[in-house]
């Protein structure tokens, strides 16, 4: 396998990650597809794509990170990695008053600490190939939403670290690029609703009385917004461009929301911006009625 342009893509079992694997392998990259579960390893193997190599990789388990790096090193030899695509992540949502602190920690363990730890482990391979790091962020880092505080905060932290890393790695010619998607269409609507109900079921009776209806309204609003988003293949095309263009940009917004929302909400007075976000997610009437009690 040596001599091929090799890339590691995390969170590769579905959605944007899988789309990146397909796009990059179609262009001749040898793609190491990082997935968390054995069944996802088998699913990639069953596709029989010769340039797609599944590796078991859980960012919260150092043993799997070390194992994945050994597999990659044995395959690429001295050629190194032409790219690392940090796409893996989880979304913890819910009212901050009720979410267990352990859930907040889990959000940051995966989306921030795990991704930085993996990036550090990959740096020798990236130096060998003078490769690139593409970090997948989110417009939510700049436009936080009610009930999405943990996710938005983790993305903001990751984007800030990405900016620092870009400057720190400049002496070795390792470019660090941020891809910032807005709304992305998903085929997992039923899963999102089920996850939301699981979250609500974890509320205390008092918590349900305070937040259940509003949180469900937020999830419905989120699904409506995402239904008008771009497909994951658009993100994959942008990631490919960030890895292959001669001089990549520092940041690539993906989709109209990624460009428009930060401008709109950055220009509005804070109170107006808050009211608009509450309205988009069907929370304005609930707040008004509660305030009158």
DSSP string of 251-284, one letter each residue: EEEESHHHHHHHHHHHHS-HHHHHHHHHHHTT-H
In what order do the strands lie in the sheet containing 6-9? 52-56, 30-35, 6-9, 83-86, 132-136, 175-181, 251-254
pTM (two decimals):
0.92
pLDDT values of the chain reduced to their tens digit, one per residue, 293 residues: 455 799 999 999 999 999 999 999 999 999 999 999 999 999 999 998 999 999 999 999 999 999 999 999 999 999 999 999 999 999 999 999 999 999 999 999 999 999 999 999 999 999 999 999 999 999 999 999 999 999 999 999 999 999 999 999 999 999 999 999 988 887 666 778 888 999 999 999 999 999 999 999 999 988 888 888 889 999 999 999 999 999 999 999 998 788 888 888 888 899 998 998 898 888 865 544 443 33
In the three-class reduction of DSSP (H, G, I as helix; E, B as strand; rest coil), residue 248 is classed as coil
Residue with tokens 């660090």: 176
Tell me how far apart the alpha carbons of residues 81 and 289 are, in angstroms, rounded to a whole number: 56
Residue 169 · residue 283 · CB < 8 Å: no
Dihedral sign of CA atoms 26, 27, 31, 35 in order: negative
CA dihedral 252, 255, 259, 261 (to 10 degrees): -130
Supply the CATH classification number for the domain 6-185+231-267.
3.40.50.720
Tokens 């482990």, located at residue = 121
pLDDT score for 289:
43
Task: Supply 154's token pair.
Answer: 């983790």
pLDDT of 18 reads 96
Show Cβ contacts of residue 44 under 8 Å, excluding neighbours closer than 6 positions: 12, 21, 33, 35, 52, 54
């Amino acid at each position: 396998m040596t001599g091929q342009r090799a890339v590691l893509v995390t969170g590769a079992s579905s959605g944007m990650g899988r789309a990146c694997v397909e796009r990059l392998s179609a262009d001749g990259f040898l793609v190491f597809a990082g997935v968390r579960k054995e069944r996802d390893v088998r699913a990639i193997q069953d596709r029989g794509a010769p340039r797609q190599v599944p590796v078991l990789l859980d960012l919260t388990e150092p043993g799997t990170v070390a194992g994945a790096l050994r597999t990659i090193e044995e395959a690429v030899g001295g050629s190194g990695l032409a790219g690392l695509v940090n796409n893996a992540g989880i979304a913890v949502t819910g009212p901050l008053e009720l979410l267990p602190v352990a859930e907040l920690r889990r959000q940051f363990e995966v989306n921030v600490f795990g991704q930085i730890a993996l990036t550090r482990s990959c740096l020798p391979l990236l130096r060998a190939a003078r490769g690139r790091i593409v970090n997948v962020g989110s417009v939510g880092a700049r436009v936080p939403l009610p009930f999405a505080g943990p996710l938005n905060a983790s993305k903001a932290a990751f984007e800030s670290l990405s900016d620092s890393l870009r400057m720190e790695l400049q002496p070795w010619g390792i470019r660090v690029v941020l891809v910032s998607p807005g709304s992305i269409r998903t085929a997992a609507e039923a899963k999102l609703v089920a996850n939301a109900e699981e979250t609500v079921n974890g509320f205390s009776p008092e918590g349900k009385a305070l937040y259940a209806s509003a949180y469900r309204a937020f999830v419905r609003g989120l699904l409506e917004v995402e239904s008008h988003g771009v497909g994951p293949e658009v993100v994959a095309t942008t990631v490919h461009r960030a890895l292959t263009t001669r001089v990549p940009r520092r940041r690539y917004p993906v989709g109209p929301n990624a460009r428009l929302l930060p401008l709109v909400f950055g220009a509005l007075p804070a109170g107006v911006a808050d009211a608009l976000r509450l309205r988009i997610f069907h929370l304005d009437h609930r707040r008004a009625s509660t305030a009158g009690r």
